[in-house]
Structure 1
Amino acid sequence: MSDAWRGVFQLAADTHSGAVGPLAATPECASPEGYRALLRRRYRNCPDVRQQLAVLARHLAGGSARAPLPITGPYADEAREILNAIYNQPQEGQP
């Protein structure tokens, strides 16, 4: 028996209510504005979510070096915009 894992790993993001992950909407999200406010709160108040969103942002911006990041759900466009904004924000210690 081998411990080697064989298979395909694919990173994906889902914005549906009840989905798993930092981009998942809550049942209370009724509009794109509400979704953006939810992610803003998560980003500001939870270091784990902030780190997960930063990883997704880097993956989305990875170009040909990485497989495309599929983002699905009713707020996929908003999620892409948010991840692009996170990726493009200046880092601490940078001008």
Structure 2
Amino acid sequence: MALKSWKEILPGGMITDGGNSINYKTGDWRSYRPMWDDKKCNNCKVCWVYCPDGSITIKDGVMIGMDLEHCKGCGICAQECPQKAIKMMEETKVREAVK
């Protein structure tokens, strides 16, 4: 008995449509928040390449900030930034400083 090709498999065990979290604001449960220093940033966009949530905001080829409503605070952007223009801060300390 020959195996079925992917085209013959019934949709019961397949993901037929890709999804994303654009409709779900997930940034309010993170523990750490990325803080971006635009003066240190050289717009290499390494952070944008590595961000798993697509939370780095680019406009006209230039980084303009971060989408904190979708950022989960993983810190990959800060880890990969060659200029160290992104630092991770505890969310509670950032909120206290804003008060």
Indicate whether the TM-score tops 0.5. Answer: no
Structure with larger RCO (C-alpha < 8 A, sep 6+): 2
Which one has a larger percent strand, Structure 1 or Structure 2? 2
TM-score calculated relative to the size of structure 2? 0.28
Bigger Rg, which one: 2
